[in-house]
Structures are given as structure tokens and as C-alpha cells.
A and B are shown apart, each in its own frame.
Chain A
Amino acid sequence: MVLDNIEQLLEKYENGQTTLKEEAQLKDYFSQETVAPHLGHYKAIFGYYLVNQQEAFTKTLPLQTKKKINFKWLSVAAAVVLMVGIYFNKPNEDVITDQDRLAYNQAKSYLELVSKALNKGTTQVGYLDALNKAGTHVDYLKEMENPIGRILKINNQ
């Protein structure tokens, strides 16, 4: 009786007409120790399916939560920062106090004093010009040598 039922189910099974429930029934039957000998090969088939249902994925998943930095946007951000920096970084106009003015005037007068003294020094050095003039006068002595040379030439002849 049970065997009849199973054989019927097997026929339906091969035609692809069994429901999942009926297929479970078949799997149940063929997972028994003893089945009808002429259906022995089905035991292997259903046994294989049952065994294969238990295989599991054991590898771990490397799930990254960190987002990669997008360098395209990084450059945009850098440009914006640069522009903002230039805009707000205009040199400040300092307020000039009386004290600053006093220091400025003092420094100016000292510098004038130094330059006056320096000018005095340079006028005295100006006498050196006379020395140069004298030097040029001495150059005329060379012209004396030329005629002397000529006279010597004539003597040798």
C-alpha cells in the first residue's frame, strides 16, 4: 500500500508534477534504512540531495564600513580653502600711534646726522682727485721717450 503510493509519487516526481510536500514525503521514505530493492537507486539520489542541503558557507565576509576618501572632492575642498584663505587674509592696516611717530622722527634725525658726517668725510676724500690729475701729467713723460727712440735709431744707422 505504502509502496504503491511511493511508486505513484515517483512517477509524478519524474514528470515534475509533485508538490514540495510530496517531495518531502519521498525524501522521508528514501532516508529509511530499508527500501524496496527495485527502488534502491532513488535512495542514492534523495540521499545525495539531503546531504547537500547541509553544506554551509564558512568563509567570513570582510564587510567594510569605512568609506574610501574621494580624492576628486579632496582637491575641490583644498581649492575652496585656499581661495577663502586668500580672501580673508588681506594685510591689516596697523594703527599708527604717537609713540611710533616719535620713534620714526628720532630715527630720521639720527640717520640725517649720520649722513651729514658721511658727506663731510667724502669731501675730504675729494683731494684724491688732484692726485689722479698729477698722474695724467706724468703720462706726458712717455711722449718724451718717442723722440728719444727715433734719435737712437738714427745713431745706429
Chain B
Amino acid sequence: MTQSEFLKIVTPFKDKVFRLAKRLLVSREEAEDATQEVLLKLWRNKGQIENYKNVEAFSMTMTKNFCLDKLKSKQSQNLKIVHNNYQDHTVALQKQIELNDSMQWVAKIIQDLPEQQKLVVQLRDIEQYDFDEIAKMLDMNPTAVRVALSRARKIIREKLTSTHNYGVR
């Protein structure tokens, strides 16, 4: 397999991999590193790529596992506080992606969700996968995905309305 063939396979979903990594790792730099790592792993095993039924789903699963491992190793190094305090400056820098105040609240609320709900929201509400695909990627059954998603959506809405009612805005 040549480089261009590989890129043709990878290009449609590399942004999705990146966004998923960023959802979990928060920092843009770390997400970029993780994405690179995942794609290079694919490249190294390019001989087997045709055996995978769904390269995209496979990559998403790989990304999820990679990022969760990374978070776990970070927790064991007691770097959790550093990670939680991380502020994504690039959001402010990127002018084409200007988030207003309440959108930042949404980001914060999603960041506080449990990891599984975070993943489900990312895959469904942002990447728009259907339930079967998400179930396959996360190794869950579709109803569990649906339940997690419903719970997450309710939490987001409730927290956001409560912040609004306290007159933050």
C-alpha cells in the first residue's frame, strides 16, 4: 500500500479521530499527538488494513482505548489536577471557531461528564454516527448507548438551565 492510498483511506475520518481524542484529553496538543499515534499505528499495520471490516470504526475504538489509557497513566502519576486545570487557549485563538459564553458552558459541562457519556455525546451529537456504529466502537449494546446518551443530554440541559437561572448570563 502506498502513502497516497493510505491517506485516501484515512482522510475521511482523521478529523473525527482528532475530535474524539480532544474530547477525552482536552488539550489540543495532546489530542494531536494521540491522533498521530493512532494513525501511525494504522500505517504500521497497513498490511492488515484490508482485513478490517470497518477501518473507521476500528480507528475510533483504537483512539478511545489509547486516550483512556493515557488518562489512566496520568492519574497514576498524580497529574490529574494539572489536567483538569488545563485551559484550551487555542479555542480563543481560533477566530473562525468563536464560542460564545454559553457555548463554553456547554464545553465545561461535557468535560465534567463521566467518560462513557462523554464518548457517546461526542460520537452521536457531534460526529452523528448511528447507534449500531457507536455500540460497535465502544463495545456496548445499542440500548446501553441510548440510555447513556439520554442521561448525558438531560444532564447537559439541566446544568445549563441552572447556570442560566443563577444569572451567570
Contacts and interface: CB of A to CB of B under 8 A. Distances in A.
Interface of A: 13-17, 20, 23-24, 40-45, 47-49, 51-59, 61-63, 65
B84 interface: no
Interface in B65-116: 96-97, 99-100, 102-103, 105-107
Contact of B97 (A15, A54, A57): A54
Contact of B36 (A13, A41, A45, A61): A61
Given A52-B126, A61-B43, A65-B3, A16 B146 contact: yes
A14 B153 contact: yes
A15 B147 CA distance: 8
Contacts of A58: 32
Contacts of B62: none
Given A14-B150, A16-B146, A16-B147, A61 B40 contact: yes
Contacts, number: 83
26 contacts: A20-B128, A23-B125, A23-B128, A40-B164, A41-B102, A41-B164, A45-B156, A45-B157, A45-B160, A47-B100, A48-B106, A48-B107, A49-B125, A49-B126, A51-B103, A52-B19, A52-B126, A55-B18, A55-B19, A55-B22, A55-B97, A56-B15, A57-B32, A59-B35, A61-B43, A62-B40
Contacts of B14: 57
B17 interface: yes
Interface of B: 3, 6-7, 14-15, 17-19, 22, 32, 35-36, 39-40, 43, 96-97, 99-100, 102-103, 105-107, 125-128, 130, 146-147, 149-150, 153-154, 156-157, 160-161, 164
Nearest to A50: B126
Given A16-B147, A41-B164, A55-B15, A63 B3 contact: yes
Nearest to B22: A55
B147 A45 contact: no
Contacts of B36: 59, 61-62
B15 A57 contact: yes
A14 B157 contact: yes
Nearest to B33: A59
A16 B157 CA distance: 13
Given A41-B164, A49-B126, A54-B97, A13 B43 contact: no
Contact of A59 (B32, B106, B128, B157): B32
Contacts of B15: 55-57
A63 B102 CA distance: 40
Contacts of A17: 146, 150
A59 B33 CA distance: 9
B103 A57 contact: no
Contacts of B7: 61
Given A16-B150, A41-B160, A63-B3, A47 B35 contact: no
